[in-house]
Amino acid sequence: MSEPDVASRHPGVLNVYVRLMKLRVVLLLQVTAISCLIVHDLLIRSGVLTGLQPSLTDTLLSSIVVIVGGTLAAGGSNALNMVWERDLDPLMERTRNRPLPAGQITPRHATVFGLVTAVLGTVIVSLPIRGEWAIAAGFWTAFSVLYYVLVYTIWLKRRTPQNIVIGGLAGATPPLIGWAAASATVPFSLDTLLLGSSIPWVLASLIFLWTPPHFWALSLWSQSDYEASGIPMMPNVHGVGRTLTEAKGYGVLLMLLPLGVLFASSDFILLAWVAVACWLGAWYLGSIITIPSTIQLGQRSPEALASFKRSLTYLGLMFLSILIAAIATLFRR
């Protein structure tokens, strides 16, 4: 397609760039990062964790930096993902109207946009808002971008039905980024890179374990779409039965995962959150169990769609509940 053709069909630069970044998905990721950042600061203020007391200004400025930088970095990696998959997107109903297959931007322009925004976002996340350069936050941001683009998009997505499992690691990093940005009050070291608490790792693991059953439910709802594109999703390669067996396994792990917070603190409010979080995990697992293993290829399962929707509610409630628990620690004395 020639440059004039692209320009004549252009819906607007801002609209195209927003869609290249998958902005709605990106903002959901930033919610998990900001939640983790705020939880960190609240637990420091309440004395549950030790560290330099952050001011309200520290929390506000760090949140702005993480939102802006994280959005740019994740959005840039999404743009690069669309460039690489521009041959697949026209084959799937839900992706055929994306900017590249629709001819609204050239691959070269999308590549430059993706690279620039990803690098700029990583630099912004690393800014020394709390006295030290947030190198750990920048590291986990760069790791997320490189892993998503190189490991997931280019290497694994078209090669293995475990693509979602392995690729989910990139989407699990926002809690690590938020916590690292909040703890950038001391010079960089291996300890700061490892974040010094089990809480951000539990929340990152939550997203990692949540990703496979979440996307497998979607793929069970739209199996024919993935079949047409040739992407080896679990239901299409190994069948519904094995997909549901593995999804239930991840559901059980999600139900048990909150127990990991016990390694960070024995505060009774956090213990109460662990109980609530385990219950929420059981509630989500129930939706996976209801999906019938008799679904045929091309058949849309309302149970799968219901599980997909519940997974979104579950993730939101998990982060909202730990945020409420962290606020509650301020008033327990």
Instruction: Tell me what percent of the residues of the chain surpass a pLDDT of 90.
Output: 64
Q: What pLDDT does residue 161 have? A: 85
Question: Measuring CA to CA, how many Å separate 159 from each of 48, 81, 254, 269?
Answer: 45, 16, 27, 45
**Weakest-pLDDT range from 196-205, 212-221, 248-257:** 212-221
pLDDT tens across 98-151, in order?
998 888 999 999 999 999 999 999 999 999 999 899 999 999 999 999 999 999
Q: What pLDDT does residue 222 have? A: 67
Average pLDDT taken over every residue of the chain:
89
pLDDT tens across 288-304, in order?
999 998 877 667 788 99
pLDDT at 282 over 80: yes
- 216 lies in the same domain as 292: yes
pLDDT at 191 over 60: yes
Report the alpha-carbon distance of residue 131 to residue 75 in Å, rounded. 27
- 183 lies in the same domain as 203: no
Of 39, 35, 19, residue with least CA distance to 67: 35
Query: For residue 302, how far is the Cα from the chain centroid?
Result: 25
- 163 lies in the same domain as 131: yes
- 148 lies in the same domain as 35: yes
Q: What pLDDT does residue 135 have? A: 95
What CATH number should be reported for the domain holding residue 172?
A: 1.10.357.140
Q: What pLDDT does residue 227 have? A: 64
Report the alpha-carbon distance of residue 114 to residue 231 in Å, rounded. 23
Element (H, E) at 98: none
**Weakest-pLDDT range from 46-55, 67-76, 160-169, 307-316:** 160-169
- 94 lies in the same domain as 171: yes
pLDDT at 333 over 70: no
pLDDT tens across 17-69, in order?
999 999 888 988 899 999 999 999 999 999 999 888 999 999 999 999 999 99
Cβ-in-10-Å burial (0-12, 13-18, 19+) of 305 comes to middle
- Are 158 and 231 in contact by the 8 Å Cβ rule? The answer is yes
Q: What own/partner pairs with CB < 8 Å and gap ≥ 24 does 48-53 have?
A: 48/265, 48/267, 48/270, 48/329, 49/197, 49/264, 49/265, 51/183, 51/185, 52/130, 52/185, 52/186
**pLDDT class for 262, splitting at 50, 70, 90?**
confident
What CATH number should be reported for the domain holding residue 293?
A: 1.20.120
Q: Which residue has the tokens 């990991």?
A: 260
Buried b (16+ CB within 10 A) or exposed e, 288-297: beebeeebee
pLDDT at 268 over 70: yes
How many structural domains are present in the chain? 2
Question: Measuring CA to CA, how many Å separate 97 from each of 48, 104, 135, 190, 267?
Answer: 49, 10, 38, 44, 50
**Weakest-pLDDT range from 82-86, 199-203, 220-224, 294-298:** 220-224
- 218 lies in the same domain as 301: yes
Tell me the residue type at 261.
Answer: V
Give domain status of residue 294, yes or no: yes
pLDDT at 4 over 50: no
Q: What pLDDT does residue 2 have? A: 46
Q: Which domain holds residue 290?
A: 198-333
- 184 lies in the same domain as 205: no
- 21 lies in the same domain as 163: yes
Of the two residues 297 and 154, the one the predictor is more confident about is 154
Q: What pLDDT does residue 6 have? A: 45
Domain's final residue, options 140, 165, 189: 189
- Are 10 and 16 in contact by the 8 Å Cβ rule? The answer is yes
